[in-house]
Structure 1
Amino acid sequence: MKKQALMLFAGLLLPNLVLAHESLQSGGFMSGLSHPVLGFDHLLAMICVGILSAQMGGKAIWLVPSTFVSVMLLGGVLGMQGIALFSVELGIAFSVFALGIALAADKQFPSGLAMLLVGFFAVFHGHAHGTEMPLLAEPILYALGFVTGTAGIHVAGVFIGLLSNKIHYGASLLRYIGAGIAGLGFYLVIA
């Protein structure tokens, strides 16, 4: 009986310990995780980053996505701090367009150029994540969530890119997918 009373007392004093799930509206990890996954423009750009890094091969497979994630986190901090950035939505839309074109081109880009390109776009994506953080959010958990979501999308893109090498006409299929993504990006730019 004492053990049950102690557990009830602890549950009353520390209710977060007895919660099994976190609400998406709470602004913690799950809210941050869902932002890049449920944002169609973010999802398209980030999947392209993963596929492009796989097409490049070698160290680019981890360098290009990790550059995106690192710089995106810096952009997220800028957004959380309320530091204004010009044309964030246009920057995100243009990233979808440009990364789709890069994917459709199926060219070997120098790693440094690819890192510069994705780093530039990552600032806009991160800023959007940071400024759209819910008011009641735990900033560290929210940031950890959007970093994890982004990294997961990049990994999925890498797997898609590597898998395309194993199937007949895989490279052509990725070029068509890239053209489609570029078309959606163009629509986002002009809309």
Structure 2
Amino acid sequence: MTPARRILLLAAALLASPLALAHTGAQPHAHAGFLAGWLHPFTGADHLVAMVAVGAWSAIAVRRVWAAPLAFVALLACGALAGAAALAVPGIEPMIAASLLVVGLLLATVHRVPALLAAAVAGAFAFFHGAAHGVELGGGAAALAGMLLATAALHAAGIGIGRLLLARHRWLPRVSGASVALLGATLLLGLG
């Protein structure tokens, strides 16, 4: 199987997985310890796809590849601390879904974006992802550290995928971005 087909198969598998959000809102599940924090970003399609998509978008459209992922991790931490402190952050789930829609569309356009703008977009959405996670982080600093490292690893995987997509075919980033945007739109419609 060619690498391009593997990527398409992976994208199809992600889209075919249950489109459940990682956060139900009513029953937050507390995560204790580093391992629980590390595993949490992998448990919901919304977060997993968003973090990989930010990396792929950065590799394809941002000259300073790590600008958006670093901003994402930094503001994810801020949002997690806000959520853990029980600060009311309105619109968490719609903003998480919107992050998929927006980042997917940005990935699909394959248009170069200034690093500062990319960091601002990624960081703004990351705050909401972090607030959702923060409500659930019962393990304190260890769980937060695990979540942040997992997020950075997912961004790194996304950067690798983005470079592979761009190297293989011009249309692969467009199809991948459209798939991410479709997931975001589907999640937004499900919230309405």
TM-score, length of structure 1 as denominator length: 0.81
| Aligned-partner Cα distance in 1 for 2:93–2:49 | 14
Residue 138 of structure 1 is matched in structure 2 by: 139
Deviations 1:158-189 (A, max 9, x none): 0011122332x1x3111101101111100101
| Aligned-partner Cα distance in 1 for 2:95–2:48 | 14
Residue 151 of structure 1 is matched in structure 2 by: 152
Residue 39 of structure 1 is matched in structure 2 by: 44
- Shift of the 165–26 alpha-carbon distance from structure 1 to 2, 3 Å rule, reads closer
Q: Which deviates more from structure 2 when the two are superposed, residues 71-80 or residues 33-42?
A: 33-42
User: 2:95 is matched with which residue: 91, 94, 97?
Assistant: 91
Residue 49 of structure 1 is matched in structure 2 by: 54
Task: Report the residue type matching 1:182 in the other structure.
Answer: A
Task: Report the residue type matching 1:147 in the other structure.
Answer: L
| Aligned-partner Cα distance in 1 for 2:127–2:186 | 21
| Aligned-partner Cα distance in 2 for 1:166–1:190 | 34
Unaligned stretches of 5+ in structure 2?
A: 1-29
Residue 177 of structure 1 is matched in structure 2 by: 176
What is the CA-CA distance between 1:44 and the residue it aligns to?
A: 1.0
What is the CA-CA distance between 1:57 and the residue it aligns to?
A: 4.7
Unaligned stretches of 5+ in structure 1?
A: 1-24
Whether the 8 Å CA contact 1:37–1:150 is kept in 2: the answer is no
| Aligned-partner Cα distance in 1 for 2:154–2:180 | 15
What is the CA-CA distance between 1:56 and the residue it aligns to?
A: 2.8
Residue 27 of structure 1 is matched in structure 2 by: 32
Identity, in percent, stands at 37
Count of aligned pairs between the two proteins: 162
- Shift of the 173–165 alpha-carbon distance from structure 1 to 2, 3 Å rule, reads closer
Query: CA RMSD of the aligned region, Å?
Result: 1.6
TM-score, length of structure 2 as denominator length: 0.80
| Aligned-partner Cα distance in 1 for 2:139–2:94 | 28
